[in-house]
Amino acid sequence: MAGWPPFQIRPSIGGAGNKVKSILRLFRLLFVLTLFLVGGLALWGYFTLQSALDQPLQVELVQNLDVPSGSSPARIFSRLEQDGILHSSEWLRRYWQWQKPDAVLQVGEYVMEPGMTAEDLLQRLANAEVLQRSVTLVEGWTFKQVRDQLSRAERLQQTLDPDWSMEKVMDELGLKGVHAEGQFFPDTYQYTFGMSDRDILLRAYERMQHVLEEAWASRAENLPIKTPYEALILASIIERETGVPHERDEIAGVFTRRLQIGMRLQTDPTVIYGMGDDYEGRIRLRHLREPTAYNTYTIDGLPPTPIAMPGREALIAAVTPKKGSSLYFVAKGDGSHVFSNSLQEHNQAVRRFQIEQRAADYRSSPAPADQTEEAEQ
């Protein structure tokens, strides 16, 4: 029939469509199952990790965790597990790798306390909250007393042989040719696990050089001392002469005027230092007459080296002495002194405070921690 389109047979798509729908349903199902699986694993991992972080440390008393140089978190956690302080450390190692992949553990001691969790400990490790210890070097101490103190400091590594001489110690510190006495600043120094006696001494030496430089820069004019080292020597004598802070500049004034007029210092602490181990707590007349390099009753000017560690105030007093006319002073027996302008006044003060009113606890200057001093002048 003309004009009619040819007859066409269209293929049925019903069967293929059903297959596509089935595949899509399968994909959706697999996707949902995957989501459930991933979600389940994530929840399991979260709760497992949280359980690991929340586990309490098995410590009944406060104790310290040592982290030496070169320690890795994995090694530290494994050690804690082996010691029974942690029940499990695997997830803690993974947590550290995720959170701190490039972190390096700070060497030191970390405090572990009853009631702490693994997460608390990790936080301390991450923040480098190492235990700080301290050692105090006291004004007026000798180098020998400094070394004794460092040898007793808890967990401070001892690298300097106690039998070494002053010269050998200074050589080991890289300070060859520097006399050790008086060169270390008295203060309280913080240290952590892994630090040594050498570290403390070098810090104290650098601090003394800095404080001495500052004091010397502020010195008064026309002083009889010409170098910072002479100021250090004089300051050490001032430090040993009085336990009363406000007297330092006045005692410095006496010594300054004596040096200016060529009068001997005649100060007992230098005699004691020169006696060394022979000093037994009392100076007698024969000791004042016995010549040593440090006996300022027999030598002119300053002794060759400091006799102790001066503090900042003694250094400042040495370079900014109090003006006046006094040339003498005598100890009252309580650590303070009476100052006199003339020898006659001084002799009267000596009679009053050293003969007539001599107390049982008399002392002419601050005594070292392991000594008592009772001077006869």
Least confident segment among 43-47, 205-209, 256-260, 290-294: 43-47
Query: Does 155 fall in a domain?
Result: yes
What is the CB neighbour count within 10 angstroms for residue 212? 23
In a domain, 8, yes or no: no
Domain final position from 126, 157, 172: 126
Is there a domain that residue 46 lies in? no
Indicate if 70 and 106 belong to the same structural domain: yes
One domain for residues 197 and 231: no
Domain match, 259 and 173 both? no
Q: Is the dihedral of CA 36, 37, 39, 40 positive or negative?
A: positive
Q: Are residues 158 and 247 in the same domain?
A: no
- Is 161 inside any structural domain? yes
Q: How far apart are CA 319 and CA 249, in angstroms?
A: 9
Q: Which class for 253: exposed (0-12), middle (13-18), buried (19 or more C-beta within 10 A)?
A: buried
Is residue 188 located within the same domain as residue 148? yes
Same domain, 154 and 199: yes
Gap between the Cα atoms of 264 and 333, Å rounded: 23
End-to-end CA distance of the chain: 154
> What domain count does the chain have?
3
Q: How far apart are CA 225 and CA 212, in angstroms?
A: 14
Query: Do 227 and 362 fall into the same domain?
Result: yes
pLDDT of residue 358: 61
Last-in-domain residue among 83, 98, 126: 126
Among 25-39, 128-142, 145-159, 171-185, the least confident range:
25-39
Q: Which domain holds residue 102?
A: 63-126
73 plus 168 within the same structural domain: no
Average pLDDT, the chain: 86
> Does 358 fall in a domain?
yes
Q: Does a structural domain hold residue 35?
A: no
Q: For residue 346, is it within any domain?
A: yes
User: Same structural domain for residues 154 and 112?
Assistant: no
Residues 306 and 318: their CA atoms lie apart, in Å, by 13
Judgement on whether residues 238 and 370 belong to the same structural domain of the protein: yes
Alpha-carbon distance 309 to 273, whole Å?
A: 13
- What SS3 class is residue 341? coil
Q: How many CB atoms lie within 10 A of CB 54?
A: 12
Of 210, 245, 270, the position where a domain reaches its end is: 210
Whether residue 224 sits in one domain with residue 350: yes
Alpha helices in 189-284 (DSSP H): 197-217, 228-241, 248-261, 268-275
**Is residue 295 one of the residues assigned to a domain?**
yes
Helix (H, G, I), strand (E, B) or coil at 171: helix
What is d(CA 227, CA 319) in angstroms, rounded to the nearest whole number? Answer: 10
| Residue 323 pLDDT level (bands cut at 50, 70, 90) | very high
Closest C-alpha to 252, from 329, 141, 352? 329
pTM for the model: 0.78
Give tens-digit pLDDT for 217-273: 999 999 999 999 999 999 999 999 988 889 999 999 999 999 999 999 999 999 999
- If asked whether residues 303 and 354 sit together in one domain, one would say yes
- Of the candidates 133, 147, 72, the one whose C-alpha atom is nearest the C-alpha of residue 102 is 72
Tokens of 210: 């800095």
